[in-house]
Amino acid sequence: MSASHRFEESDELRLVIRADSFPEAAVEAGRALAEMAGAAAPVEESGGWAEVSVEAADRAALLVDWINELIFRAESEGWLGTDFEVVECSPTRLRVRARRLGWPSRSLPVKAATLDRARVVDDPGGVTAEVTLDL
């Protein structure tokens, strides 16, 4: 099991994830968001886990919705997830437990994930997922 991510820049920021599987890619997307936020401000441990679930038309839209859900939780509920456990994953539904880290500023450098060229592609090495982020 392995996953990694990188950011590619054009006018905005594109998140590119390589992972063994789609659930791993979703977890990596959550980690990437936390990494971006962590670079901007410190987080406070608050403990506890929260379950987050999203449904969408396909895996690319699912990944976009998942990132948007994490952005919303940070802004409205004041926490970020950095550790994740996938509870359920299908091509149209994703249910994840996320460990809550307090995020008092409720602000993130990412405002939204977009469907702009969003894609999830299976390949012999696993999965490549790409999402453009609005900053």
57 interacts with another protein by CB under 8 A: yes
Among 2, 48, 93, 117, binds another protein (CB under 8 A): 117
Q: Alpha-carbon distance 70 to 98, whole Å?
A: 9
Helical ranges in 1-135 per DSSP H: 22-38, 59-77
Among 4, 20, 44, 111, binds another protein (CB under 8 A): 111
Q: How far is the CB of 105 from another protein (least distance, A)?
A: 6
135 interacts with another protein by CB under 8 A: yes
134 interacts with another protein by CB under 8 A: yes
Whichever of 61 and 83 has its CB closer to another protein, that residue is 61
Beta-carbon-side half-sphere exposure of residue 67 (alpha carbons within 13 Å): 34
42 interacts with another protein by CB under 8 A: no
Residue type (1 letter), 64: V
125 interacts with another protein by CB under 8 A: no
Q: Burial letters for 39-73: b for 16+ Cβ neighbours within 10 Å, e otherwise?
A: eeeebeeeeeeeebebebeebbbbbbbbbbbbbeb
Q: Coil, strand, or helix at residue 7?
A: strand
68 interacts with another protein by CB under 8 A: yes
Q: Which stretch binds another protein (CB under 8 A): 17-25, 26-34, 67-75, 81-89?
A: 67-75
**Phi, psi of 84, rounded to the nearest 5 degrees:** -135, 145
**Given the rule CB under 8 A, which residues bind another protein?**
7, 9-13, 56-57, 60-61, 65, 68, 72, 75-76, 105-109, 111-112, 114-118, 132, 134-135
